[in-house]
Amino acid sequence: MWRNPRTRRRAVVPHHSREIAEETMRAIVRQAGLTVDEFLAL
């Protein structure tokens, strides 16, 4: 579980050894209340 400290929104983030599909990653970023650019800047 990841929490955005600014908005306090949460997102479930899978934890495993393989790559996360692009659409799954976009959904996680959206759930966290971030834009893709904001996520990439982290």
- Smallest Cα–Cα separation from 26: which of 9, 8, 42, 13? 13
pLDDT at 1 over 80: no
- Predicted local confidence at residue 37, as pLDDT: 95
pLDDT at 38 over 90: yes
pLDDT, tens digit, for every residue of 3-36? 888 888 887 777 778 888 999 899 988 888 899 9
- Smallest Cα–Cα separation from 39: which of 21, 26, 20? 26
- Predicted local confidence at residue 5, as pLDDT: 86
- Smallest Cα–Cα separation from 3: which of 18, 15, 13? 13
- Predicted local confidence at residue 40, as pLDDT: 93
What are the residue boundaries of the structural domains of the chain, listed by start?
Answer: 2-40
Which residue would you say has higher pLDDT here, 7 or 37? 37
